[in-house]
Amino acid sequence: MVASTTTSAQAGRGGEDWSFRAEGVTKVYGGTLRANDQITLSVQPGEVYGLLGPNGAGKSTLVKQVIGLLKPTEGQIRLGPFDLVADPGAARQLCSYLPQAPVPIDSFKVREVIELTGRIRGGDRAAVRQRTSQLIEALDIGEWATTMGQRLSGGIKRLVGFSMVTVWPGRVVILDEPTNDVDPLRRRLLWEQIRLLGRQGCAVFLVTHNVMEAEKSVDRLAIIADGRLIAEGTPSSLKAADRGHLRLQVMLAPGARTPELPSWVRSHARAGHNLIAAIEEADAAQGIGWAAGLIGDGVAEEYALGATTLEDVYIRLTGHVSADDED
Amino acid sequence: MTELTWARVTPRAGLPYWLHSYRILVRWHLAGLRLWLTLLASIQILAGAGFVLGIALFFRHIPAIAALFVATGVPVINLVMVGLILGPQLVADQKLQQSYDFIRALPALQTAAACAWYTVCLLAGIPAVVISLVIAEARYGISFAVSPAILPAVLLTAFTGTMIGYALGHAVPNPMATRLTTQLLIFAIFGYTPILFPARQLPGWLATVDWWLPFGHMAVIVRAGLTDGLVTGVATSYAIVAVWGAIGIAVSAWALGRRG
């Protein structure tokens, strides 16, 4: 491991292009299950890139191959001059990874564990200490700075995990559902820090199934379903195909079954009590009438008609809603 | 904002990187064990003292040779307890809590990580060894013949125990299997390996099995450093303990290098 890193370290100096490129990445389990299927994408330094897709779509499998925890069955993953598949030691040094699962910090104090991780990641003591203070202040977790991890709530632990990963970040930062359990106020602070990572030149991979949040924060995104990359672009470009469409959201009464949908509904999905349907602008009046009728019949309680969002694109492409309570 | 060298990371290499990783990881492990240190130290001392003093409960008059075997065997248990038993259980916990990926994704050299863990296991074992020996000397009036050979014996015993535990933790995919194996090891080591008593007291077939295992040989090399003329075949025992240490390294390297 040391020897391979030495070779790569020599190659990594100078003013190379540090773009990230995955080409034809395929991961097959047990000879048949294609968790990733010919995924090709590239991310530039400074970009916040969303990887969206339903649970089990293959997002985590992809990022685990980037960080060197899994080996692709086929394909290449490169970061600047480095072949991350051939050199997982370099992958670990060049990429920072916050997994979806909790970080193991029960026995550590918050400031201590952030600083230790920064030192493991190669930052010098003074700079890591300074950056730790900045993160603790920016994420508003100062009151827990000397608290042991076992006493923290899930949301604060998540923020500490984010700080551990980004206190001395790699050129690629992979964040798998970073906002899970985080309260709305600090969630906003977290997004500011994620954008700051981009401004500092990191390529940020944001793995999420929360499309609404991602839409506001990513520069570009890929939608992955059944292991395949089914769409890629900026949020605006992905929504372009849905121009001229509207989003009709109907809140169904508790216990109500999904009503029969009129033929002019282009696509739909249900999440909890919410029925989300995409309709043509020209069908707006019919849509309002239909939703009002559902309320009149006691099937629904309220409705809203608005412009399409990235989530509508996501629903159309994957057949899933991004929220956790998807039915 | 202060100008930092974020996002301009290039892979580090060489001895300075190794030493830096080692130093930080020792601190990481010590801090990670903080919640357990008091309990761990207590268990280590109680186990050591318990065995040394407990033997007196079995006999009205303790044969001097039995007291000597127990007193010189207990250090082995102290030296391997953390690395062989607690270590794999901690890794199993990380796997159960799904935090194993985070640890594996940290940019630490695996050799430095293993050496850092070995250092911590050694540090956790030595105080209990000293206390056990002091208690044995006071209780049974044993005069140990401590020689410089105790140093390599202690280092190698702790190393092999740690590396076998490291391999168990990282190579066994199912954390529950790891836990059950460590339970079995405790049972086997305390009752059926010639650590606290001579191998000749075992049935022939079990003595043969034990000859191929490292635990009885750990006791031989530690005894050779604490007594004079009590044990024979010390060179062979060193070789067998070292081979098991090498097996532990090889299996750990394979497990940590493998990518599913």
Chain B contacts in chain A segment 155-184 (CB below 8 A): 161, 168-171
Q: How far apart are CA B61 and CA B39, in angstroms?
A: 33
Reported as a pLDDT band with limits 50, 70 and 90, residue A234 is very high
Q: Inspect the interface and report whether the beta carbons of A106 and B35 lie closer than 8 Å.
A: yes
Give me the CATH topology for the region A13-234: Rossmann fold (3.40.50)
Q: Which residue has the tokens 């990481």?
A: B28
SS3 A125: helix
Q: How far apart are CA B237 and CA B248, in angstroms?
A: 17
User: Is the pLDDT reported for residue B213 higher than 70?
Assistant: yes
Question: Mean pLDDT over residues A176-186, rounded?
Answer: 91
Contact predicate A178/A98, CB 8 Å: yes
Where are chain B's structural domains? 38-257
| Residues contacting residue A323 through CB under 8 Å, at least 6 positions apart | A210, A271, A272
Q: What is the DSSP string of A161-226?
A: HHHHHHSS--SEEEEESTTTT--HHHHHHHHHHHHHHHHTT-EEEEEES-HHHHHHH-SEEEEEET
Please give the single-letter amino acid code of residue B79. Answer: L
CA A36, chain centre distance (Å): 17
Q: How far apart are CA B209 and CA B204, in angstroms?
A: 9
Per-residue pLDDT of B41-53, as tens digits, reads 888 888 888 888 8
Output Rg (C-alpha) for chain B, integer angstroms. 20
SS3 A271: strand
CA distance B108 to chain A (A): 7
Q: How far apart are CA A183 and CA A160, in angstroms?
A: 14
Least confident piece of the model among A29-33, A245-249, A314-318, B175-179 = A314-318
Chain B residues in contact with A6 (beta carbon < 8 A) = 13-14
Q: What is the DSSP string of B129-178?
A: HHHHHHHHHHHH-------TTHHHHHHHHHHHHHHHHHHHHHH-S-HHHH
Please give the single-letter amino acid code of residue A236. Answer: S
Percentage of chain B lying above the pLDDT 90 cut: 58
Q: How far apart are CA A325 and CA A272, in angstroms?
A: 6
Where are chain A's structural domains? 13-234, 244-307
B104 secondary structure, DSSP code: H
Per-residue pLDDT of A278-287, as tens digits, reads 899 899 999 9
Reported as a pLDDT band with limits 50, 70 and 90, residue A11 is very low
Q: Inspect the interface and report whether the beta carbons of B97 and A170 lie closer than 8 Å.
A: no
Q: How far apart are CA A217 and CA A195, in angstroms?
A: 7
Nearest CA in chain A to B31: A108
Three-class SS of B212-254: HCHHHHHHHHHHHHHCCCCCCCHHHHHHHHHHHHHHHHHHHHH
Nearest Cα residue to A117 out of A102, A106, A132, A139? A132
Cross-sheet strand order for the sheet of A48-52: A95-98, A172-176, A203-208, A48-52, A220-225, A228-233
User: Is the pLDDT reported for residue A327 higher than 70?
Assistant: no
| Interface predicted TM-score (ipTM) of this complex, two decimals | 0.86
Reported as a pLDDT band with limits 50, 70 and 90, residue B253 is very high
pLDDT mean across residues, chain B = 89
Contact predicate A249/A304, CB 8 Å: yes
What do you get for the CA distance between the two ends of chain B, in Å?
41
Contact predicate B116/B198, CB 8 Å: no
Q: Which residue has the tokens 């001579």?
A: B198
Reported as a pLDDT band with limits 50, 70 and 90, residue B5 is low
Q: Inspect the interface and report whether the beta carbons of B11 and A12 lie closer than 8 Å.
A: yes
Question: Mean pLDDT over residues A218-225, rounded?
Answer: 92
Residue A94 touches partner B, C-beta closer than 8 Å: yes
**Which pLDDT score is estimated for A4?**
39
Q: Which residue has the tokens 């100096």?
A: A13
Q: Inspect the interface and report whether the beta carbons of A82 and B11 lie closer than 8 Å.
A: yes
Contact predicate A258/A283, CB 8 Å: no
**Which pLDDT score is estimated for B46?**
86
Nearest to A119 among B24, B97, B259 (CB): B24
**Which pLDDT score is estimated for B6?**
58
pLDDT mean across residues, chain A = 88
- Tokens representing B119 are 């250092």
Q: How far apart are CA B81 and CA A57, in angstroms?
A: 43
- Tokens representing A149 are 């991890």
Q: Inspect the interface and report whether the beta carbons of B31 and A202 lie closer than 8 Å.
A: no
